[in-house]
Structure formats: C-alpha cells, structure tokens
Amino acid sequence: MAQQEHCDSRQNPKKATTSHLSREDFDGGPVSIDQIEKGLYLGNVTAATDKGSLQAHDITHILTVDSCPLPSHVLQISTLTNKYIQVSDVAKEDLLSHFDDCIEFIENSLLNNKRVLVHCYFGVSRSAAVVIAYIMRKYKISFSPAFERVKSKRRFVGPNPGFVQQLRLFYKMKWTIDIHHEQYKTYRLRLAADKVRKAKILPQSCMDLVKQDPGLIQTNPEPIVYRCKKCRRIVASKSNVITHKPVSPNQRPRECAKLDAYADEHTGVMIDEISDKLKENSLSSDRSSDVEMDYCKDVYFIEPLAWMDGILRQTNGKLHCPKCQSKLGSFSWTMGINCPCGTQVSPAFYLVPSKVELSRSVQNVQITV
C-alpha cells in the first residue's frame, strides 16, 4: 500500500480525517507538468492522476496542495509516497504555516535521486507558492528572484496576492516560521480575527494566541514589564508588545479628534489627552537601545493575554486591570482601532499609556496578583 501523509489547513490530522472531501471526478484540463529543478516538478491535478505521466517522469513522491486529496486509484499505487495539504486557493487561506512541512517533504523526496511532483488543481497558485518557498530557502533569496526562477520554468505560475504576502513574510523570518516575529504574530491574529468574525468566539484552534499572564508566578521573568499605574500589577511583558510605525504626516487625516467611535466609547480617551499625558508618562520617555525610535508610542498594542476578561467569547470590549479593575484599554477582534498616529490596527488589544508604566527590574520569582 502506498504511503500517505496528511495535514489539513489547521494542522489537525485527526479532525481533518473525518471532514475529507473526495475527488473521483475532475476536469483539470490536459496534463501540465514542468521540471523546475533536477527531480522537482510542478504541475496540475491531471498530471498527478495520469499514471503514464508519472511513469514518464519517474515520479516517486507527490505533494498535493489542494482542497481535495487525490483519487483512490492514485493513492493506491504502491511505488508512490503521497503527502496532502488541505488548502483552498483564496487570499486569506493560511499556507504559510505549512511551508516548513512542505519544504521538508520536498527535501526528503529528493534524496537518493528521487523525484517529486508538487501540484494543486491547475498548478498555478497553491503548489507554485510552495515551490517558490522551497527555492527561497534553498538559495537564501527573497520572493521576487525565486518567483522569476520558477516562472522561467513554468510560465503561467501566479500565487494569489495573499500567498505572495505570506512568501514575503517567510523571507523576513529568514525562510522559516518564527513564532516570535512581530509580523508573524500580527498575521496569525488576523487569521484568528476572521474566524472570530464568523463564529463570534475564539476557536479552540487559535487558543495558543492567548499568551500566559505575565503577572503570575514565573521563573526567569522578563526584565522589562508594564504595570498598572494604580496598583503596580504587571499586565504585560516587553515581548508581548506588537509595535507599528506611524503613518507619515502627509498621509494622516487633517483632523482626528478621537481614536475612533468604538475606541472613544470604550476608553473615553481623547487623542489630545493621550498626547498631553504621553509627555509625562515614563513609557513615552523610554529610550532603551533595543527599542526602535521610529515605532509609535501613542498607544501600546499587545498580544492577547490570559488576564484579559472577555476576549475568548466577545468580539470587542474593555480591558480592566485584573487586580484593581482600573480601565487600562480596550480590545477589538473585528473592528480594529485607529491609532492616533494614523495607523489602522486590526485586530487590536491595546493599553493606554497614561494607565500603565514601565518597570525595568523584576525578581526571579514573583506573584503580582
């Protein structure tokens, strides 16, 4: 029996097994297959299901990046090793989280002069994005030269705009998935926000986005933390902050009196008030060498944290200190927040600078609840 590996778009193999689509009838057009590099082929579903084409190119491994797995008559070929990634060809689909896994499969497939075919339905978007990611890592290059290299071998490749952005982020993360990279954090939060927008609650598959409470007992805590100004309870660590750069002055609206209607309703903080209080706030005067000076400090956007009441079952709401209940800020999975600097941040979990303060020293083990 042929070997088959499977991974769905949420990396939950057990759950995906019960929700498999099947493809016994299809019309992917004529066989279309191109060799990108020695042993590496990119093609459509017709090529992957045509035994003659597979034999002609001595294909031993098939990576399917599609909404449906290959039909049973292909999966039962004993000389083939198959891997299936369940992904739709839409811009908001998460293909990025599968790049490491796909690249590893391709690399292992090419060992000992084996040959691998990577395909989706037409061999244009999904499978092309995976092959481009492989080329990017192999040659340590950015998206554009990798795209041109693949396109020179298969002229009609064209990942959708969402996959292009994911490939560019893959390059920024040095050709791997860096869960600590700020842009990757933002990327995953946006994926979760789309699910919250539909389900009105945070799905179980996204619970890892909610980070542990930095105010609870810790060993080797971070040296730089943010505390509630009223009760001094730790509410965030520096690593929880998600920075952004302000919109350039000529791009900002001429008049912006409030964060926006939502933020005003939940925080009651005017932009002018924030600006005045920033001058007196210790956070605004922080000039540590490891903080980029061009990052906005008007409002402090952070990752969702375990102490934030309501973020698992509500789309938006207020953030209160878990100790003294002082209002520290707000959150919005779906509407986002207009920062006073002019940048739209969505989803958003933010602390108002006048409500928190910077602390540079933390004991090795502590309780702040």
Q: Catalytic residue numbers? A: 120
- If we measure between CA atoms, which residue out of 306, 313, 323, 311 comes closest to residue 348? 311
DSSP codes joined into one string, 100-120: HHHHHHHHHHTGGG--EEEE-
How many whole angstroms separate alpha carbon 119 and alpha carbon 123?
5
Question: Do 84 and 4 contact (CB within 8 A), yes or no?
Answer: yes
Separation CA 165–CA 257 (nearest Å) = 33
Quick check: 117 and 41 in contact, CB under 8 A?
yes
**What type of residue sits at position 273?**
E
How is 156-169 classified by DSSP, letter by letter? Answer: T----HHHHHHHHH
C-alpha torsion angle, residues 302, 303, 309, 311 (rounded to 10)? 120
The set of residues, in sequence order, having a beta carbon less than 8 Å from that of 114 and lying 6+ positions away, is 39, 60, 61
